[in-house]
């Protein structure tokens, strides 16, 4: 013990600024949900002040009465993205229909902010759709625009080029139409 201190209790800091534990910055994680419950979980998390993101795409359906209706569907069925700190995991997992946060056997693994920013960007307002049949193609990088540096796979569909973003953490894919001028081949 230091000679000028009366007791061990004087060694503790009582400053409100220094006594609060430093929490790590929130990160994006993929939340695996019960099928078709992504929207209800998103609404519940909004009420609980948890930032969430559900990427969707538009589908035109023809009903039995031949009426055409546009609906929004989840881009990655049964997945919702949440931005949380470690202390908020239990809040997210307590939502009815939330099954688990994707990760390895020990801990949830965050999704790079760049991939979420891409899904949230105006760039995505082009025709986006799920890409379920991943084919072996050339790895490319977007070389200009708001998503410069993002890597994906190049495929061709109906005489137009598509950039396929793979969210590796959940093994899901999304295809978006891009100009070949915006892409560069990745040489490995």
pLDDT of residue 32: 95
One CATH from 3.40.50.20, 3.30.70.940, 1.10.10.60, 3.20.20.370 for 24-111: 3.30.70.940
Closest Cα to residue 24, out of 90, 83, 81, 86? 86
- Taken in order 116, 118, 122, 127, the sign of the CA dihedral is negative
> Taking the domains of the chain in order of start, what are their residue ranges?
24-111, 114-188
Query: What CATH number should be reported for the domain whose range is 114-188?
Result: 2.30.30.30
pLDDT of residue 143: 73
111 pLDDT tier (thresholds 50, 70, 90): very high
pTM over 0.75? The answer is no
Q: Is pLDDT of 127 > 60?
A: yes
Tens digits of residue pLDDT in 134-177: 444 777 777 777 777 888 877 765 556 666 767 666 778 887 77
d(CA 54, CA 38): 7
- Of residues 129 and 91, the one with the higher pLDDT is 91
């Amino acid at each position: 013990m230091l000679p000028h201190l009366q007791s061990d209790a004087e060694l503790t800091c009582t400053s409100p600024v220094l006594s609060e534990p430093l929490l790590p910055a929130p990160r994006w994680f993929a939340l695996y949900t019960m099928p078709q419950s992504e929207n209800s979980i998103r609404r519940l998390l909004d009420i609980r002040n948890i930032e969430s993101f559900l990427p969707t795409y538009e589908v035109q359906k023809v009903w039995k009465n031949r009426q055409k209706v546009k609906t929004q569907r989840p881009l990655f069925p049964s997945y919702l993205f949440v931005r949380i700190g470690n202390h908020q995991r239990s809040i997210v997992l307590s939502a009815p229909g939330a099954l688990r946060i994707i990760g390895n056997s020990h801990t949830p693994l965050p999704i790079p902010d760049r991939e979420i920013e891409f899904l949230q960007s105006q760039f995505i307002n082009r025709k986006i759709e799920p890409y379920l049949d991943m084919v072996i193609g050339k790895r490319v990088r977007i070389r200009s625009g708001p998503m410069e540096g993002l890597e994906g796979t190049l495929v061709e569909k109906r005489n137009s080029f598509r950039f396929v973003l793979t969210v590796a953490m959940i093994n899901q894919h999304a295809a978006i139409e891009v100009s070949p001028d915006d892409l560069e081949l990745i040489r490995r």
